[in-house]
Amino acid sequence: KEFGGTQPDDYDSFYEIILWDEFARMGGGGVLGQMSINSMALPPIIKYGSQRIKDMVVKDVVQGRKQCSLMISEPYAGSDVANIRTRAERKGDVYIVNGQKKWITGGLIADYFTALVRTGGPGAGGLSVLLLDKNMPGISIRKMETQFDNTHNTTFIELDDVEVPVANLIGEEGKGFGYIMVNFNHERFVLACSTCRSSRLCYQEAFHEAMSRKVFGKKLIENGVIRWKLAEMARQIEALQDNIERIAFMFSSGVADAALGSQCALLKVQASKTFEYCAREAVQIFGGSGLVKEGRGKIVERLYRDVRQMAIPGGSEEILLDLAIRQAMRKAAKL
Ligand SMILES: Cc1cc2nc3c(=O)[nH]c(=O)nc-3n(C[C@H](O)[C@H](O)[C@H](O)COP(=O)(O)OP(=O)(O)OC[C@H]3O[C@@H](n4cnc5c(N)ncnc54)[C@H](O)[C@@H]3O)c2cc1C
């Protein structure tokens, strides 16, 4: 609201469930991708940015005039965020930034980038967040074709002697890793909300198909095997929905972000696995119609290609499951 948004006074995370759910329901594609990436790139600026940076960026992005992308991953470090290599050397009142960033969503239409760079030594303690402007000389951006729809503007970005004013530092030098990690909870929650709707779409489309398609003289739904597939889909979707609402309640009740790391990690894995199951079984129910980009199976054909983009970006399943158990081990060690 402070930055010109239309947030109602009693806004809470349940509004967010509706927002991301409805975008996914209509097959939001690039619009959903860009809105969610704005919602991931802005929080470090809002929480830790100077007033000058907030005034420059936040209002325009919140009101839809400009876009902001999140620039963390590199060809040699995706999961291993602490080991990114893009360097920012301080020279007087500018940083000189050199490196490569890979898979950056929305890169072609971004006006700004919330970028994680190395200002210090190795490891997490050497990382800082800088605000980059797309017009800064030395930034070159190219599109990467993707398995799913191509409207997310997934990009490869080269940073070649980019001069970034020191005033564009977000928060303090050396604290960038922490700023980005806390931000991941919200990102994973957002992804889970839209993934839950994508799973429901698979179920919905498959249910209608099973009710109408006749094979061997009877409707598909009259086969126990098909009903079992639909029941399994529904069971997993309802469990996911409950989990999303439980975590929304924790966010809304003011549970500290630091206490929600493993919860949000497990939630995102539950979401991508539910979606994977539902997309697989929906295509099976559609048969050949689920493999062509036309006709009644075209929605599940598209959703099937969306699955892996929910299982890898924003923390892959392997990394998130590991994160949750590592946190449990740390707690157990303190008992
Ligand atoms: C479509 C798309 C959009 C993206 N958007 C953005 C964006 O906007 N901004 C951004 O910064 N990044 C973005 N990314 C990058 C994304 O976050 C990374 O791809 C992801 O974190 C995985 O990193 P990686 O691809 O380097 O895989 P790697 O880290 O190389 O891992 C490869 C595989 O090994 C597994 N693995 C790695 N370490 C372990 C381990 N210790 N134990 C077990 N398994 C392990 C991983 O789970 C993965 O399956 C995007 C990626 C994609 C594909």
Give the end of a domain, one of 122, 154, 173: 173
Do residues 22 and 198 lie in contact, with contact meaning Cβ atoms separated by under 8 Å? no
Q: Which domain, by its residues, includes 158?
A: 1-173
Which of 187, 208, 182 is CA-nearest to residue 289? 208
How many CB atoms lie under 10 A from the CB of residue 206? 27
Pocket test for ligand 1, best of 42, 103, 116, 177 (most atoms within 8 A of CB): 103
pLDDT, tens only, 154-183: 999 999 999 999 999 999 999 999 999 878
Do residues 138 and 88 lie in contact, with contact meaning Cβ atoms separated by under 8 Å? no
Question: Residue 10 pLDDT more than 80?
Answer: no
User: 224 CA distance to ligand 1 centroid (A)?
Assistant: 39
7: confidence class by pLDDT, cuts 50, 70, 90: low
Q: How confident is the model at residue 1, as a pLDDT?
A: 67
231: confidence class by pLDDT, cuts 50, 70, 90: very high
Q: Which residues pair with 169 in a beta bridge?
A: 130
Do residues 294 and 235 lie in contact, with contact meaning Cβ atoms separated by under 8 Å? no
Mark whether 7 and 108 lie in a shared domain. Answer: yes
In the chain, the number of structural domains is 2
Mark whether 195 and 65 lie in a shared domain. Answer: no
Which of 318, 331, 267, 315 is CA-nearest to residue 73? 315
Mark whether 139 and 199 lie in a shared domain. Answer: no
Question: Residue 304 pLDDT more than 90?
Answer: yes
Mark whether 261 and 190 lie in a shared domain. Answer: yes
Looking up residue 329, the CATH number of its domain turns out to be 1.20.140.10
Mark whether 186 and 68 lie in a shared domain. Answer: no
Mapping DSSP to helix (H, G, I), strand (E, B) and coil, where does residue 21 land?
helix
Q: How confident is the model at residue 12, as a pLDDT?
A: 86
Q: Which atom of ligand 1 is nearest to the CA of 319?
A: 47
Which of 307, 247, 319 is CA-nearest to residue 280? 307
Question: Three-class SS string for 76-134?
Answer: CECCCHHHCCCEEEEECCEEEEEEEEEEECCCCCCCEEEEEEECCCCCHHHEEEEEEEC
8: confidence class by pLDDT, cuts 50, 70, 90: low
Do residues 268 and 191 lie in contact, with contact meaning Cβ atoms separated by under 8 Å? yes
Q: How confident is the model at residue 31, as a pLDDT?
A: 81
The predicted complex's ipTM stands at 0.98
Which residues surround ligand 1 with Cβ inside 6 Å?
37, 69-73, 78-80, 103-105, 146, 154, 309, 312-314, 316, 318-319, 322
pLDDT, tens only, 41-90: 999 999 999 999 999 999 999 989 999 999 999 999 999 999 999 999 99
User: 56 CA distance to ligand 1 centroid (A)?
Assistant: 31
Residue of the CA atom closest to atom 23 of ligand 1: 78
pLDDT, tens only, 14-50: 999 999 999 999 887 788 888 888 888 999 999 999 9
Q: Which atom of ligand 1 is nearest to the CA of 317?
A: 47
Q: How confident is the model at residue 151, as a pLDDT?
A: 84
Mark whether 216 and 131 lie in a shared domain. Answer: no
Give the end of a domain, one of 121, 143, 173: 173
Give the end of a domain, one of 173, 198, 231: 173
Q: How confident is the model at residue 283, as a pLDDT?
A: 98
Mark whether 8 and 153 lie in a shared domain. Answer: yes
Mark whether 207 and 325 lie in a shared domain. Answer: yes
Mark whether 162 and 33 lie in a shared domain. Answer: yes
Mark whether 35 and 159 lie in a shared domain. Answer: yes
Looking up residue 84, the CATH number of its domain turns out to be 2.40.110.10
Write the Ramachandran bin of 145: left for phi over 0, alpha for psi from -120 to 50, otherwise beta: beta
User: 186 CA distance to ligand 1 centroid (A)?
Assistant: 18
Question: Residue 184 pLDDT more than 80?
Answer: yes
Mark whether 11 and 152 lie in a shared domain. Answer: yes
Mark whether 161 and 133 lie in a shared domain. Answer: yes
